[in-house]
Amino acid sequence: MNGLMMQESLLISSLIRYADRFHGDTEIVSRRVEGDIHRTNYREIHARAKRIANALLAQGVKPGDRIATLAWNGYRHMELYFAISGIGAVMHTINPRLHPGQIAWIANDAADTWLFYDITFQPLVDAFAGQCPTLGRLVAMTDKAHLPASKVDGVIAYEDLVEAGSPELEWPDFDENAASSLCYTSGTTGNPKGVLYSHRSTLLHTMMGVSPDVLGLSASDVILPVVPMFHVNAWGVPYMAALTGAKLVFPGPALDGASLYELFEAEGVTVSAGVPTVWQGLLNHVMQKGLRFSTMRRTVVGGSACPPAMLAKFENEYDVQVLHAWGMTETSPIGSACALKPKHRGLSHEQILALKGKQGRPPYGVNIRIVGDEGEDLPWDDEAQGELLIKGPWVLRRYFNREDESPLLDGWFPTGDVCTIDPDGYIHITDRSKDVIKSGGEWISSIDIENIAMAHPAVAMAACIAVPHPKWDERPLLVVVKRPDAELGREEMLAWFADKVAKWQIPDDVVFADAIPLGATGKMLKTALRDAYGKHPLPTAD
């Protein structure tokens, strides 16, 4: 017997329709590529999204067509999120920090037919568009007066497209399982792989994401997503903002500490979300200038492990609550978030900070397991380390264009992350399986070593990699970037570990570097570090 409730598809268009109807005058503020501040609201975004949608339909865009964007976080990008998915086409966000050759590869794999881009990316577009035979239409996200000189023919101005489209549109109804957006993994190992989200997966992820133990977003919040809209849909924040009617503030390309702080204060930002490297820049800025946050209450940190020193600084010195979250492109991305339970109320401040340093527990909808080398289930005792497997309605089943390959193991997605799980289900990611240091049959967590190093006052950034060792197979090498003007030598750095980890976990050597290479999503690029230092002669090797 079926239930007798209304059958309505979970579609992305319903989000913007709702935001327009109930939060139409709520502001959406963007720092533009031109450097100025632009103000609009949900009503306007919806109206312009309809115009773009009509213009695309008039030019023959069909459901399932892939339409690419190369753009920063801004209102026009938001309009495209709703215009493209709203008519059943696929919003394909491309990471502009990739090499032009990789971008061409991705655009060809996706067979993108249109490309919308911020004008700062004109040189990039000139460099790769000619290599993409399916790319028929190029749209610069500006007005005619600001159209940049282009080496490729036929570039249209975004504002002309908005003008051309009628504002009259009823968003079409279709199957909620239809594809809505496409995002490629950054390809740190091999070619990038496309993750194709559906309307249903996006809506379920959005409803979970706003809930109190995750982003806890409401109409009274002002959210600034630092996490880019070109990577995993900015962790879903544009959709979550529309679902709640929260005010949105987009930082555009200016992600340095000073620019972010200025926007946080000017717009009354209460919540933000981003990777640790961005927060490091913001914290350095407020520390150096002796500033305070007047409205900021919470920040979501994820994408790589949040160093405990950063967590403590935010919470103890700036009164900003940190929510540590874990996820992947393949998981939409939210897989876990570290919200506390009533039983933790009795814990000391230090114990709470230690708990919040974990990646947290899955929200409803996500299931997890840890398995050993033979695929056997390991206990949730906070000690056994194994690979994290995940399952749920917003977790990838198969990569785009790879019909013949199943990445799943018995219906579970293997994450490639190594973790422990405690009896309450809190995950602690100790490493990526390819980054873990295997020393004499024991595993050393590169994340643990980095976190300890980064708590040293003279250290700005630290990375730990495995270097081959004749006796122990692999031993840890620490690469350190010192804070400006700080004094720190090898011996002092190594002595810092003495009372913090077992002796065999202490790195064998330290090299000081000017910078640590970051990948296209702002994470430390361990592959580049291994290329640079993988043959470093260890003093213990003789």
Using DSSP's 3-state secondary structure scheme, residue 200 falls into helix
Q: Is 237 in the site for ligand ADP (CB under 6 A)?
A: no
- Binding to ligand ADP by residue 233, rule CB under 6 A? no
Catalytic residue among 277, 315, 391, 443: 443
Task: Assess contact for 238 and 49: CB atoms under 8 A.
Answer: no
Asked if 280 touches ligand ADP (CB under 6 A), the answer is no
Is residue 370 involved in binding ligand ADP (CB under 6 A)?
no
Question: How many angstroms from the chain centroid is the CA of residue 164?
Answer: 34
Our answer to whether residue 438 is catalytic in this structure is: yes
What's the closest the beta carbon of residue 453 comes to ligand ADP, in angstroms? 16
| DSSP SS3 for 16 | helix
Q: Pick from 430, 338, 82, 363: which is nearest to 205 by CA?
A: 363
Cα-flanking dihedrals φ and ψ of residue 3, to 5°? -70, 165
Name the active-site residue from 159, 176, 267, 330. 330
Phi, psi of 411 (to 5 degrees): 85, 0
Q: Which of residues 73 and 329 has its CB atom nearest to ligand ADP in the complex?
A: 329
The residue type at 441: G
Mark whether 330 is an active-site residue: yes
Q: Does 302 bind ligand ADP (CB under 6 A)?
A: yes
Among 112, 387, 417, 509, binds ligand ADP (CB under 6 A): 417
Report DSSP letters for 279-341, one per residue. HHHHHHHHHHHT---SS--EEEE-SSPPPHHHHHIIIIIH--EEEEEEE-GGGSSEEEE----
Which of 521, 522, 524, 526 forms a contact with ligand ADP (CB under 6 A)?
521
**Least CB distance from residue 445 to ligand ADP, whole Å?**
11
Q: How far apart are CA 337 and CA 332, in angstroms?
A: 14
User: Considering the rule CB under 6 A, would residue 188 count as an interface residue with ligand ADP?
Assistant: yes
* Strand ranges, E, within 214-284: 222-225, 247-250, 271-274
Q: Is 113 in the site for ligand ADP (CB under 6 A)?
A: no
Candidate segments 109-117, 140-148, 397-405, 411-419, binder of ligand ADP by CB under 6 A:
411-419
Residues from 494 through 513 that contact ligand ADP (CB under 6 A): none
**Considering the complex, what minimum distance in angstroms separates the CB of residue 126 from ligand ADP?**
26
User: Interface with ligand ADP includes 228 (CB under 6 A)?
Assistant: no
Asked if 324 touches ligand ADP (CB under 6 A), the answer is yes
Number of residues binding to ligand ADP, judged by CB under 6 A? 21
Residue 314: HSE in the Cβ half-sphere, 13 Å Cα cutoff: 27
Q: Does 225 bind ligand ADP (CB under 6 A)?
A: no
**Residue 108 or 527 having the CB closest to ligand ADP:** 527
Residue 445 is a binding residue for ligand ADP (CB under 6 A): no
* Integer Cα distance of 394 and 380 in angstroms: 24
* 529: three-class secondary structure by DSSP: helix
The residues carrying an active-site annotation are 185, 330, 438, 443
Contacts with ligand ADP by CB under 6 A lie at 185-186, 188, 302-305, 324-329, 359, 415-417, 429, 432, 521, 523
